[in-house]
Structure 1
């Protein structure tokens, strides 16, 4: 995330987004950066590089565009699991860089940072990773650092209400957000020493799914709908009442849904031997007040997983729909 420097306003922000958009377009095509390319990614090709830009709450104050700030971008409420580091939270501008090759991602980061020039400064930066393409015999849901399949219940583009839940409709409110989405970014530390003391069976009770294949404890395989009413011979629910998968079900949260696109992270080992590792949780939705917020509030009230995680950083960003040919990202906001 970047913050605009003191004195930088709408004019400087527009020039910055022009530079960033031009650089991103070239790099995503596997071409060198427009200026002073470092050659870090020479010979690598595009490597599925994506560069995504978003606007934070403070951006609109810095640029005098408060009337264009969406109501959905209001600061997230406090949650009981929050232990937030303000220096690693929020920001005027958010940039997500993803690639199949870490060198390509680093190359893009350096280009974007240099393009910021005197207009913006890095506020925070985090590295995440996922399973490398081709690491499994066939495509499958990735595992997180707890060893659990992560993302089984994601909304699918084939769902009839997918676009309604994930994207701001056109014409949007405000208009510049048409076909965009809101990204919630959370750095969630996993208390792995405590988690790994649990047996595999106990871990499955916390999550509500089998660790081996992600199937619900009520039976079936990973894609089998979870039967929340199914009980054992003693009358106990097979999926515990406080299981993470039960609590996060959309039908248990007024239909709230979000598209999860998380990354694992590992930032070294503390002096006491505790790994600083966990999840860079990123979720997308048409409105965070109807997506992330109600689900997180419910998790706060009794999720079995809460004992084993700690939310250490947070951000919310408005990501407009993709720029048309010849446009730069945010042009409809900054020049509208």
Structure 2
């Protein structure tokens, strides 16, 4: 983990982050209409309805509504994200409440056959994602999300290093996809790492998120099989009185210093420029994905004051130990009456700060996870860490190396899986994601 984390509340709607969206207002729905309205027509009422929700009576019925009548979607359900664009969705999109990460491996075959299969698969996946993100059911729909709107659904696709060998495109593989170095906190499970193709799904409704996962898995057919899949969550929209930076499962305000789209160097840090090498990665980004288990039993034995010294920030509000509010710049030189650093030399926030790493920064967009308890009651829980940068060799790697050498948080976490993926730029109208690579 790093302190290059989620945005502060003032910038919640300008960039990604884990702060909650404001709670939607509640009002009665629109006038009754014909029963049996389609999901497409239902979604068409959302724009006019705005944040209107449902007034539900004590018996669970909808006040003033005829059975089967169309109802306005709440603000959470009505929000849609565009599939087409300069960048893929799910990178700068505000963090959603539910997430799924998955990697797929192409079926065995010759490089030519694998390349053809990959192109056909990305064409199917792109078409499916476009429909789902617009709130429209794809072909052969399961009906799981039939009553919902798009709920801020995003689907993002990436390519692992192994894809290029399998498809005979090794000459097109970016140098930035070179394997990540080993780190001392790594305990990596190869079965839950890497993969030819990577998919990130996010939505503000769990059924919408699962629906997308199932639809993409079905669309893969015999062309690719699931290598690994992980489920995550964040604070739900409206769970707090005002938009706030979320907390992780250690109870800490997780991240405040994410790069922001308003920053002058945001595009340069996060996205590959046009005209660069390779050309097919123009306006894309690189995603580092790590499953980081938190050793919560050990962590929770520490008094709050000791936890704060490990992190370098106050637990109550995320403010640096040097003083101020959550967004106050850390004073890394401040000392106490005894001459000791107020923010300890080994504090996570100090070591991961851009000013401690030559300006290295990454856009973090994680999900928390909990996969149950073992027979001794030890939770299998932590962070599905996802970070974005124009080049992992100047983003993730230098920061993680620094953390590896002296981060006080290291003894409370364990990196259990890892992946690095090239995420091409967004698809234009009429294109599918990765077309410039697979048809080059």
TM-score by length of 2: 0.76
1:3 aligns with 2:105: yes
1:263 corresponds to: 367
d(CA) in 2 for partners of 1:251 and 1:164? 17
How many residues align? The count is 335
1:22 corresponds to: 127
1:33 corresponds to: 138
Q: 1:10 offset after TM fit, Å?
A: 0.5
1:224 aligns with 2:352: no
Match of 1:327 among 431, 434, 438: 431
d(CA) in 2 for partners of 1:197 and 1:59? 44
d(CA) in 2 for partners of 1:103 and 1:47? 10
Q: 1:172 offset after TM fit, Å?
A: 2.6
Match of 1:302 among 397, 402, 406: 406
1:62 aligns with 2:166: yes
Q: 1:173 offset after TM fit, Å?
A: 1.3
d(CA) in 2 for partners of 1:99 and 1:240? 38
1:42 corresponds to: 146
Q: 1:284 offset after TM fit, Å?
A: 0.2
d(CA) in 2 for partners of 1:174 and 1:64? 16
Q: 1:157 offset after TM fit, Å?
A: 1.0
1:13 aligns with 2:118: yes
Considering only aligned residues, what root-mean-square deviation do their CA atoms show, in Å? 0.6
Q: Report which of the two structures shows the higher radius of gyration computed on alpha carbons.
A: 2
Contact 1:172 1:179 in 2 (8 A): no
d(CA) in 2 for partners of 1:172 and 1:145? 39
Which consecutive unaligned segments of at least 5 residues does structure 1 have? none
Deviations 1:59-98 (A, max 9, x none): 0011100011000001111100000000000000000010
1:211 corresponds to: 315
1:133 corresponds to: 237
d(CA) in 2 for partners of 1:208 and 1:33? 47
Q: 1:158 offset after TM fit, Å?
A: 1.2
Q: Superposition pairs for residues 153-302 of structure 1, below 5 Å?
A: 153-302=257-406
d(CA) in 1 for partners of 2:227 and 2:312? 37
d(CA) in 1 for partners of 2:256 and 2:320? 10
Task: Give the secondary-structure state (helix, strand or coil) at the position aligned to 2:118.
Answer: helix
Task: Give the secondary-structure state (helix, strand or coil) at the position aligned to 1:52.
Answer: strand
1:110 aligns with 2:214: yes
d(CA) in 1 for partners of 2:123 and 2:420? 22
Task: Give the secondary-structure state (helix, strand or coil) at the position aligned to 1:110.
Answer: helix
Contact 1:49 1:99 in 2 (8 A): yes
